[in-house]
Amino acid sequence: MIQGTDLDPVAVWLANVALAAECLPFVAAAPAAQRRPLPEFATVGDGLDVPAEPATAVVMNPPYGRVRLDDDERARWSHATLGHANLYGLFLAAGIEQLADGGAMAALIPTSFMAGNYFQNLRSFMVDSAPLREVTFVEARSGVFAGVLQETCLAAFAPGANRSLTQVGSLNGRRVQVARVPSPANRGPWLLPRRKSEASLAATASKLPSTLAAAGWSVSTGPLVWNRRKADLGSRRSGNCVPVVWAADIDGGVLHQDPARDLVRWLKLTGNDERVLVLDEPALFVQRTTAPEQSRRLVVAELGDADLDRWGGRVVVENHVNVLRPCPVSQISRQLLHGLLRSDVMDRVLRCISGSVAVSAYEMEALPLPDAVTLASWEGLRGNALDQAIRSTYGARP
Ligand SMILES: C[S@@+](CC[C@H](N)C(=O)[O-])C[C@H]1O[C@@H](n2cnc3c(N)ncnc32)[C@H](O)[C@@H]1O
């Protein structure tokens, strides 16, 4: 991993290398003759503490998981957290702080820090302090992390204003070079190709001037958390009831009523549901999670005026669905956005933002778009003509 940096190989051996402390009793229990001696520089301690001396290299396979911070810890890590904190994000921030001048950090970590909403401050801190120099996406995860579905990468970071490129690779038995791209330089989701075939698409898309949010569309998750409302869900319409849109109703990209949801089709409204839950205007729906084997990550369906009439004029959307609505002034019509999100190109762009099966509202709002003039010129296009215009603007090879 550190090959791409200017590190002296000897310095790497003098680095801070984290070993699982819970392995020490197993090491101690092994017969002395069979024990492999620990390196002399090994110490036991809290990896988040400030070390006595800065390190030339930090190499880590940090712990993952959401962590609750007390007020002091929240203040300590405020430069690298936003909302929920993840332990591996704290380790990345600590590792960067521990680096000596000219040092580098390598980490085996999930890729969520590259795109997640809660990692915006960490990305800012990295961009300012130790930009991403090399990333290798781990393709074959079975045997590496048992039971882990998250996309994982080996990433190297190093300070230095003169180093502005990031080497991107993928690992499936052996490392394959994918692309050399400008180092990500913003706090928004980073767009990085996972495969060679997406290198030009990622490079072109990351230079586009706008985003879905900037073009006047908001994305939010469906507000109904069904398991908190089991008692109010049923198969029959009675009293003040509204039909529920479930993720399964969007399967195949056309809004329909999946018979498997018949028993929970209607929600009885109570309290302030009318204001908080009910959607009574046209929108687009995008599934929030897709199965790993599914060919598309972006599964989108339209709730047009006619659909809304068919559903009785009002729906409640369940929280496995993203709801896309136009702001009062938007640069892109619902019909065009529908066509764009259904395109093969946007699906591939999303995969350069996130390798996860989840499609978050935050990542959707950050989808790169061309300027308003180009969007306006696409308004009348349909089918092949639209696909062709999208492909050429996004630099997508077929
Ligand atoms: C994903 S495991 C990796 C273990 C080891 N580095 C390896 O590569 O096999 C993460 C390790 O971090 C340790 N850990 C958790 N919190 C820590 C902390 N604050 N300081 C140091 N180690 C910690 C855990 O006990 C666990 O062994």
Query: Residue 17: its pLDDT value, please?
Result: 47
Residue 63 CA: which ligand 1 atom is closest? 10
Residue 62 CA: which ligand 1 atom is closest? 10
Report the distance separating Cα 258 and Cα 249, nearest Å: 5
Give the chain's domain count. 2
Residue with CA closest to ligand 1 atom 25: 20
How does residue 2 score in pLDDT terms, banded at 50, 70 and 90?
Answer: very low
In a domain, 169, yes or no: yes
Range(s) of the domain holding residue 252: 217-393
For residue 164, is pLDDT > 80? yes
Query: Residue 19: its pLDDT value, please?
Result: 55
Same domain, 79 and 140: yes
Same domain, 153 and 227: no
Same domain, 148 and 11: yes
302 and 284 Cβ atoms separated by less than 8 Å: yes
Give the three-state DSSP class for 238.
coil
Same domain, 181 and 303: no
For residue 28, is pLDDT > 80? no
Same domain, 143 and 235: no
Query: Residue 145: its pLDDT value, please?
Result: 54
Residue 273 amino acid letter: D
Phi, psi torsion values for 43, nearest 5 degrees: -135, 160
Query: Residue 10: its pLDDT value, please?
Result: 33
Closest by Cα among 118, 91, 128 to 107: 91
Q: Given ligand 1 and candidates 61, 69, 91, which is best to mutate, with the most ligand atoms within 8 Å of its CB?
A: 61
Residue with CA closest to ligand 1 atom 22: 47
- pLDDT for 128-146, tens place per residue? 999 999 999 998 655 555 5
- CATH classification at residue 132: 3.40.50.150
Mean pLDDT of the region 335-346: 97
Give the three-state DSSP class for 320.
coil
For residue 42, is pLDDT > 70? no
Residue 48 CA: which ligand 1 atom is closest? 19
Paired residues of 241 in beta bridges: 268
Report the distance separating Cα 278 and Cα 245, nearest Å: 11
Find the 22 Cα to ligand 1 centroid distance in Å: 8
For residue 398, is pLDDT > 80? no
In a domain, 199, yes or no: no
Report the distance separating Cα 338 and Cα 390, nearest Å: 13
Phi, psi torsion values for 90, nearest 5 degrees: -65, -40
Same domain, 149 and 284: no
In a domain, 207, yes or no: no
Find the 39 Cα to ligand 1 centroid distance in Å: 17
Query: Residue 206: its pLDDT value, please?
Result: 93
Residue 285 amino acid letter: F
CB atoms within 10 A of CB 57: 25
In a domain, 240, yes or no: yes
Residue 179 amino acid letter: A
- pLDDT for 65-107, tens place per residue? 999 999 999 999 999 999 999 999 999 999 999 999 889 999 9
Same domain, 177 and 273: no
Find the 46 Cα to ligand 1 centroid distance in Å: 9
- CATH classification at residue 334: 3.90.220.10
- Per the structure block, which two tokens stand in for 195? 């495969």
How does residue 148 score in pLDDT terms, banded at 50, 70 and 90?
Answer: low
Mean pLDDT of the region 252-268: 97
In the block, tokens 């990622």 appear at 202
Query: Residue 12: its pLDDT value, please?
Result: 36
Q: E strands, the chain, where?
A: 16-17, 55-60, 66-67, 85-86, 99-110, 132-138, 152-157, 165-172, 174-182, 210-211, 217-221, 233-234, 241-245, 266-268, 278-279, 283-287, 300-303, 315-317, 321-326, 368-369
Last residue of a domain, one of 190, 206, 231: 190
- Per the structure block, which two tokens stand in for 265? 């089709």
- pLDDT for 354-389, tens place per residue? 988 899 999 999 999 999 999 999 999 999 999 999
In a domain, 211, yes or no: no
Query: Residue 328: its pLDDT value, please?
Result: 95
Query: Residue 216: its pLDDT value, please?
Result: 98
Residues with CB under 6 A from ligand 1: 18-22, 46-48, 61-63
Same domain, 158 and 305: no
Find the 87 Cα to ligand 1 centroid distance in Å: 10
Q: When comparing pLDDT for 136 and 22, which is higher?
A: 136
Same domain, 141 and 230: no
| DSSP label of 306 | H
Residue 46 CA: which ligand 1 atom is closest? 20
Query: Residue 141: its pLDDT value, please?
Result: 56
In a domain, 333, yes or no: yes
Same domain, 164 and 278: no
Give 84's contacts (C-beta < 8 A, 6+ positions apart). 66, 118
For the ranges 14-23, 186-195, 231-240, which has the lowest average pLDDT? 14-23
Give 28's contacts (C-beta < 8 A, 6+ positions apart). none
Residue 60 CA: which ligand 1 atom is closest? 6
Find the 20 Cα to ligand 1 centroid distance in Å: 5
Find the 119 Cα to ligand 1 centroid distance in Å: 21
pTM: 0.88
Same domain, 222 and 104: no
Same domain, 346 and 246: yes
